[in-house]
Structure 1
Amino acid sequence: MSTDSVTTSMSVPELTPSIFCADASQFFAEKKYILNILGGHLIQFFWLVVKWCIENGSLLSRPLEYAQQKNYSKDRACAAILAVTMARAQPLLLLLLALIATALAGRRVTLENVHHVPEGWSATQKRDGGDAPLTLTIALKQRNMEKLDLILTQVSDPTSPQYGRYLTREQVIDLVAPTSDSILQVTQWLRSQGASPTDIHLHESKDFIDVTLSHSAAERMLETTFVSYIHTTGRRAVKAANSYSVPHEISSLIDFVSGFRLPNMKWRKSFEKMGMTHASPLLHPRARESLPNDNSPAVIYVNALDGIASATILPRCKDGQVTTNAQQLCGEDDNDADVTISGFHVTAVELRGEKKIEYDIPVTKAKCSPCENNSTACTQSNSRNNLPSGTVYCSVYLPGLTNYLPTYLLVTSQFSDDSQSVVGNASALSFSTSTFVTPKNLFELYNVPANLRVTNPASTQSVAEFLGQYYDPADLKKFFRLMGLPDTSDLVTVIGPNNVTNPGGEATLDIEYIMGLAVGSPTTFWSLPGLYQGQEPFLQWITDVLNSANPPLVHSISYGDDENTLSVEYVLRVNAEFKKAGVRGITLLFSSGDNGVFGGNLFTECTSFTPSFPASSPYVTAVGATLFSTETLPVCAENFAGFEFPCNDVGETTSSTSSGSRISSGGGYSIIFPRPSYQRAAVNNYNQYITDIPTSFYNTTGRVYPDISAIGHNFVVILDEEISPIDGTSASAPVIAGLITLLNDARLNAGKGPLGFLNPWLYGLSSDHFNDIVTGDNSCSELPWVCCDYGFPAKPGYDAVTGLGSPNFAALLKSALSHN
């Protein structure tokens, strides 16, 4: 039979490279006969082999005759041709394989893109430290991650027979650690790059390797360049100037290389010493607008406390100019050379009932000083209005205000010639003072027995502190004394550095309130310096926790970064570490952020929302913030017979700069993680309330956070032995952490295990286990105050700004004790 007759009867078209490759590729892909290494390139080579065989002999007739006899389809015929060709061309194929091996040996794979530079960092002219050692961390790929997911679901779901049956550290290592061959191959690669055996350290978990190399050796190994950066705080770190890569044969064994990211230095809090010299309060819109063409004073910010407020004013001379002399306001270089400012007249107007409080404040009672970059608000004002850095601002105190009532200010300057300035109208800004928060009123608010104490030494907890945040034990002792609590400061274990002479607001808040809520719990202050010539403190912290044989059961962390600034590889691996914490019965609580829907960005306009990680992780519990208010129902914003509806009961509303808080509770929809099953029903219910938000602003199918909330405004903290009011979701997180420690204590005393990963339990509870927050939204940022047209509103049930609500401890305790 001729080739022509076969071709006609089988309708096989003329054999060309494109047709042959398409048919053969499809067949071999379906039958899994072709390795996926080179894809179409390998098929193209086989076509060249076929062509060579055709030119050097009558190869086609026999395979096609055989294919016709067997009634093969066209695809099977192509496969038969290819099989015969491969047999005839075996020497050529061996040569090909050798060439492939040589090519792959020199091929490199880019692992991550790490171009993002967080706010406040700038590159230096040269690399600090020359060719000094640099420590990198290699994240090795783990095994059995699907099985880890299954175990986490079983041990965290109260309806599962495996609930609470956690794994030990050794069991987790045996489950997910890489093979010995993988570890050996990576270690040999590091040795080939100049690392000695003493420079290489395998973590106890066997899934991370630390290696110390010179900068130049590390650059050669990763084919990148390291650049030194300095932060406005003076801290230094190194960062890869571009993407990095590893050999092809190593890329399948590791997730990423760590040690050259710049940490986000933006903390989740707003705190203020009573002296108000470094304020971070509510910024008036005037700080972002040009000054009017008159001599009216401008209210730059208002710090609302408990029945008292501090307003910072930009005074202007009679001719409308500012002054840089804090000893004599005006009267020197202005056109009215003999006229000075003698004082200020402030009118506080309470919107409900139109009550007015008048204040006449002589300049000698105002605290006036040059800005000199010591306040975000005055710095912003100077920048916006092109004012010198030494421009003088004055702080005035306004006592006797009624808590929870929206209030605005009218301010005039009094001149020495008995004239007055134009009225500075601050009606665009309303604020409300609020009760100071202490452990005592948190216990009352959340239905916790007043004298409840931790009695089981196994009920442990921890706060994580990064980037030079420390606490002073003397502050903690004074806090216990002023709050009427027993002094348990001796129960603190410090891991890492702690400079007691330089306490920070974040660390002090965390340690005082987690211990103020869970009195008697052994507490770890887990401190990591991070930064220069080392790995990121966050990754180091979670690996240190998991390497510990007996880590604390509850962790409060007030640290985060924008999802869109992190590589997916990094985020997914950190997420895997969270899963490992969950299967060991460890509870991770993260603050949801203080910048509303803005994340860590300072937008002047809003076209999309920015979710924050790790709060967005499906394997942690994210904590949002509320504040005390009388406007706890939507009806409170309505008019009744020409008057505002009377609302006098004090409850909780969303923490927002638009309602008097110093921060706005973070919350939103992840752009990386899909929605976990445990929250689908709750989010589906919430989605009916947000149909007006353009879907281009957020990922409609993503994981939604926060999960729960607590008060986050006006916390009384003892810092440098002074009272300092502090705001933030980083105040809310240690509150929830302390309450979870109390629940763990009850379970341990009942012979049960700790609660571990909370979310499957929390989302399965009925609404009476929470205080539902139904007013407010997170459309506004913290400083500088900018508001989006859209934000996630608080609504009945779950919402993306306060989660399930704030805790009803008594109901949660009953539920926690009902499960094994």
Structure 2
Amino acid sequence: MRSLSAWVALALAAGVCAVPSTTVHKVKESVVSPRGWVKRAPAPADHIIELRIALPQPNFDELERHLYEVSDPFHDRYGQHLSKEEVEELVAPEAESVHLVNEWLASHGVYEDGLTRSPAKDWVHIKIPVALAEEMLRTKYHVWTHDASGSSVIRTTSYSLPEHLHDHVELIQPTTMFSHMKSLKTTFHFSHFSESAKGSASVTADAPPINIPSASGGHVDASCNATVTVTCLQQLYNAAGFTPSTTNGNQIGITGYLEQFANIQDLQSFYADQRPDALNSSFKTILINGGQNNQSLAEAGAEANLDTQFAFGLTFPTPGTFFSTGGSPPFIPDDLTPTNSNEPYLDWLAFILAQKTIPQTISTSYADDEQTVPASFAKRVCNEFAQLGARGTSLTFSSGDGGVGDGEEDPALQECFTNDGRNVTRFVPLFPPSCPFVTAVGGTIHVPETAVFFSGGGFSDLFSRPAYQNAAVTKFLNKLAPGTYKGLFNPNGRAIPDVAAQADNFLIFLGGRSGLIGGTSAAAPTFASFISLLNSARLSAGLPPLGFLNPLVYAIHAAAPDAFNDITTGNNPGCGTPGFNATEGWDAVTGVGTPNFGKLKEILTFGLGSLDLASSS
């Protein structure tokens, strides 16, 4: 067997011999030196790097047309989602692109048996030494270290391709992406944790119930004002007494990244405390790209436990899946770590899009500052999310935990400056919540509900405002005093969030102890759970799942505002400002509000004809 260095030498020799000396290379993508990252030593030549090559999707506009038609409650095709094969046909690259990229790879000694392709052939995945990547891309990779976290990645600030390939390659990563993926968990109240695995859900408050007209039975237990449980959410969002089916094919999924492990023993403690009828049930775990789900109590993840305990507790007995995706551990130069993709969204998307059957509802509580994600990468990943929506899956993402800031809970740590070398003060939206093909979920607190201070909200600098938001967002912008935050946000951008849910004081079990935790990472799986319950009701009624939610959400909000609980108090400070205010109608703190499950179920199972939807067009 040849040594790695010998293989590299042969591959480089093949590349040098095969590529004509007249080949003209041109810069494909470049970025300024990213703020917060320090360039260290050159990347080791023998380090194996995984490159994902995106081929253009010339018919994506047609896929987008299909997506909006099957997601628009005004359209005759509403709910007629596409099959896996139909989506793949719409995103397939041109044959010429496939041929030219194959030719280029072969010229560098990379042949069919050394690569993998997505089912649609729109992605090519190769594993090659850094030295070969540098030759192919006419660049130099270095080890870069993130100041705040100390984590390191292998990246470059510029790469080139042969000029004739520019129209046939959309992007190649990891190259210029310096994002720092965050788990959106803003508050973790260790002081509330008990030493025993005994929660407080069973404690009865002496105070009388809180009158909430939209809640189940018109009231919510007083204890819910301080401690949020499954029962609290069922009461508050008018879902008490509803039991989803186990036989109609409905499923819910939770994504996990950053070595966050969902502990089954903790889940059983949670069930014993809050959902005793679910005891001894569990969820399916799917490991992706080296992901793990270590069951040591010491390794239990607060984020993963929060997401799975509440999502699966609220939707029991709906089958649940926890997707654990690897690729996030920092690169340690001395160890020559075998993989260093550090872009787990792509790893997860590559897996999930290849599956014939996928959950109808999937929630994610992780994000990056939008400005740290290259525009080409963000737009391509966003388009991948559109494929899932077209297939009938609802995707929820936490809107962020820094208000209008960069996701840092502590305003003193927020860096609200552009990342383009100008260092101009700017609000910092997060991605993927800023993608118009997903549903961004903001946060509330207390009963009656008010906006929680950390609820991420604002306007995208990458994506323009989609048509489904125009009426609601324009009303909000018209309420702002002239010149409010001028230059700090893009008023024409995709607005965040779309909806909201409770986001603080959630009672979970972690490492055998009970305690309270918060963040929009609590809000996203909560909202997703009520969507999953709606999907169950629809499937049992012979109706299709909801799929891409946003056109429907804004249409229902316009025609039947009481289907969402409008949040009109609170704000989301950040970047040295008070942020935006919650107000009547849509706002950049809580979106259109929190769900009234009972009302939504009535609308979505008795037929959209029960609404005068035409009045909202």
Could you tell me how far 1:481 is from its partner in structure 2? Answer: 0.7
Q: Deviations over 1:571-609 (max 9, x none)?
A: 111121121111111111000000000123634788431
Matched, 1:491 2:283: yes
Could you tell me how far 1:789 is from its partner in structure 2? Answer: 3.1
Matched, 1:621 2:439: yes
Q: Which residue does 2:118 correspond to in 1?
A: 203
Q: Which residue does 1:817 correspond to in 2?
A: 605
Q: Which residue does 1:588 correspond to in 2?
A: 395
Could you tell me how far 1:682 is from its partner in structure 2? Answer: 0.5
Q: Deviations over 1:14-49 (max 9, x none)?
A: xxxxxxxxxxxxxxxxxxxxxxxxxxxxxxxxxxxx
Q: Deviations over 1:630-656 (max 9, x none)?
A: xxxxxxxxxxxxxxxxxxxx4000101
Moved more, 160-169 or 604-613: 604-613
Q: How many residue pairs get matched?
A: 537
Pick from 771, 778, 789: which aligns with 2:572?
Answer: 778
SS in 1 for 2:23: helix
Could you tell me how far 1:770 is from its partner in structure 2? Answer: 0.8
Could you tell me how far 1:208 is from its partner in structure 2? Answer: 0.5
Q: Which residue does 1:569 correspond to in 2?
A: 376
Could you tell me how far 1:126 is from its partner in structure 2? Answer: 5.5
Cα distance change on mapping 1:476 and 1:262 into 2, 3 Å:
farther
Could you tell me how far 1:742 is from its partner in structure 2? Answer: 0.5
Residues of 2 paired with 1:250 and 1:665: CA distance?
43
Pick from 712, 735, 748: which aligns with 2:526?
Answer: 735
Q: Which residue does 1:84 correspond to in 2?
A: none
Residues of 2 paired with 1:741 and 1:266: CA distance?
25
Cα distance change on mapping 1:233 and 1:690 into 2, 3 Å:
closer
Q: Which residue does 1:470 correspond to in 2?
A: 261
Q: Which residue does 1:108 correspond to in 2?
A: 26
Map 1:594-605 → 2, pairs under 5 A: 594-600=401-407, 602-603=413-414
Residues of 1 paired with 2:347 and 2:105: CA distance?
20
Residue identity opposite 2:311 in structure 1: I
Could you tell me how far 1:478 is from its partner in structure 2? Answer: 1.0
Give the aligned CA root-mean-square deviation in angstroms: 2.9
Cα distance change on mapping 1:170 and 1:590 into 2, 3 Å:
same
Cα distance change on mapping 1:225 and 1:600 into 2, 3 Å:
farther
* Paired residues of 1:111 and 1:255 also in contact (CA < 8 A): no
Q: Which residue does 1:244 correspond to in 2?
A: 159
Matched, 1:725 2:516: yes
SS in 2 for 1:622: strand
Residues of 1 paired with 2:351 and 2:551: CA distance?
26
Could you tell me how far 1:681 is from its partner in structure 2? Answer: 0.7
Q: Deviations over 1:475-505 (max 9, x none)?
A: 1111111113322633323333211221111
Residues of 1 paired with 2:308 and 2:239: CA distance?
20
Percentage identity across aligned positions?
Answer: 36
Matched, 1:653 2:459: no
Residues of 2 paired with 1:146 and 1:778: CA distance?
35
SS in 1 for 2:99: helix
Residues of 1 paired with 2:368 and 2:458: CA distance?
14
Cα distance change on mapping 1:103 and 1:159 into 2, 3 Å:
farther
SS in 2 for 1:138: strand
Residues of 1 paired with 2:140 and 2:21: CA distance?
25
Residue identity opposite 1:204 in structure 2: P
Matched, 1:767 2:526: no
Residues of 2 paired with 1:684 and 1:213: CA distance?
49
TM-score, scaled relative to structure 2: 0.81
Residues of 2 paired with 1:819 and 1:231: CA distance?
52
SS in 1 for 2:282: helix
* Paired residues of 2:179 and 2:369 also in contact (CA < 8 A): no
Residues of 1 paired with 2:519 and 2:72: CA distance?
30
Could you tell me how far 1:196 is from its partner in structure 2? Answer: 3.9
SS in 2 for 1:795: coil
Residue identity opposite 1:545 in structure 2: I
Residues of 1 paired with 2:42 and 2:164: CA distance?
33
Moved more, 500-509 or 266-275: 266-275
In our comparison, the structure showing a higher alpha carbon Rg is: 1
SS in 2 for 1:688: helix
Cα distance change on mapping 1:788 and 1:218 into 2, 3 Å:
same
Residue identity opposite 2:569 in structure 1: T
Q: Which residue does 1:796 correspond to in 2?
A: 584
* Paired residues of 1:195 and 1:212 also in contact (CA < 8 A): no
SS in 1 for 2:379: helix
Q: Which residue does 1:752 correspond to in 2?
A: 543
Q: Deviations over 1:198-243 (max 9, x none)?
A: 3211122311000111110001111122222456898855332321
TM-score, scaled relative to structure 1: 0.62
Q: Deviations over 1:642-699 (max 9, x none)?
A: xxxxxxxx4000101xxxxxxx000001112111111111111111222251321111
* Paired residues of 1:621 and 1:706 also in contact (CA < 8 A): yes
SS in 1 for 2:279: coil
**Where does structure 2 lack aligned partners over 5 or more consecutive residues?**
1-19, 194-199, 211-223, 332-338, 418-424, 609-617
Q: Deviations over 1:414-452 (max 9, x none)?
A: xxxxxxxxxxxxxxxxxxx95110000010000002352
Could you tell me how far 1:113 is from its partner in structure 2? Answer: 2.7
Q: Which residue does 1:689 correspond to in 2?
A: 479
Residues of 2 paired with 1:812 and 1:488: CA distance?
31
Q: Deviations over 1:355-381 (max 9, x none)?
A: xxxxxxxxxxxxxxxxxxxxxxxxxxx
Residues of 2 paired with 1:137 and 1:199: CA distance?
13
Higher-RCO chain (CA-CA 8 Å, sequence separation at least 6): 2
Residues of 1 paired with 2:45 and 2:162: CA distance?
26
